[in-house]
Amino acid sequence: MRARRAAPTGGLFAFVALASFAAVAAALVSQHAYGMQPCAWCVLQRLIFLALGAVALLGLAWRGRTGSLVAAVDGLLLALCGLASAVWQHFVAARSASCNLTLADRIVSTTKLDTLLPDVFEARASCADAAVALFGVPYAFWAAALFVLCALALLQAIRVAAR
């Protein structure tokens, strides 16, 4: 019987964790230093990035094939949800005057994070007002690109762990 070795996925999980937490840090700097207030979809993406980072940390801590696969698959699902929310934010929600009662608004208010940590999770702008760009690229596209990079890293982690 062959002994199971830890899957060499640590670097991939470290990248995903660092990228996810850096995305939330950048969003908070944009909000508190530059006055770019978030909409409900922005806040939902923060929540997804934090969950993605936590799952990546789980992948770092839970060594072995099973741990790597569980963390990578869960992280991949979160990254795809984040990508979907960023795309929806840009193409649908940004054309709406209000984010009230949208899926993002309901998810965030159900978690109660908007009242527990309002400086991080309270939506303070409409979707149309929050549609801003950085270097000519909409914030939602920056988030989408980072979700794609995380998804690609997690796909690679799945491939490595499945061997």
CATH number for 64 = 1.20.1550.10
The residue with greater pLDDT, 110 or 154, is 154
Identify the band that residue 128 occupies on the pLDDT scale cut at 50, 70 and 90: confident
Q: For 37-85, write each residue's pLDDT tens digit.
A: 888 899 999 999 999 999 999 999 988 889 999 999 999 999 999 999 9
Spatial neighbors of 127 by CB under 8 A, at least 6 apart, are 39, 40, 41, 89, 93, 94, 95, 96, 97, 98, 99, 102
Could you give the angle at which helices 103-111 and 40-61 cross, rounded to 10 degrees?
60
Element (H, E) at 143: helix 139-162
Classify residue 3: in a domain, yes or no: no
How far does Cα 45 stand from its chain's mean position?
Answer: 5
Classify residue 27: in a domain, yes or no: yes
Classify residue 4: in a domain, yes or no: no
Classify residue 1: in a domain, yes or no: no
Whether 132 shows a pLDDT value over 90: the answer reads no
pTM, 2 dp: 0.88
Query: Which residue matches tokens 């993002």?
Result: 104
Whether 129 shows a pLDDT value over 50: the answer reads yes
Classify residue 5: in a domain, yes or no: no
Pairing of strands 137-138, 133-134: antiparallel
Classify residue 113: in a domain, yes or no: yes
Q: Which of 18, 57, 13 is nearest to 153 (CA)?
A: 13
pLDDT at 1: 43
Identify the band that residue 149 occupies on the pLDDT scale cut at 50, 70 and 90: very high
Classify residue 2: in a domain, yes or no: no
Q: What is the DSSP string of 10-75?
A: HHHHHHHHHHHHHHHHHHHHHHHHH-----HHHHHHHHHHHHHHHHHHHHHHS-SHHHHHHHHHHH
Whether 153 shows a pLDDT value over 70: the answer reads yes
Q: Which of 88, 89, 54, 104 is nearest to 74 (CA)?
A: 54
State the residue range of the domain holding 139: 10-162
| Cα separation, 150 vs 49, whole angstroms | 10
| Cα separation, 112 vs 23, whole angstroms | 22
Give the total number of structural domains in the chain: 1
Token pair listed for 58: 């789980």
pLDDT at 99: 63
Identify the band that residue 97 occupies on the pLDDT scale cut at 50, 70 and 90: low
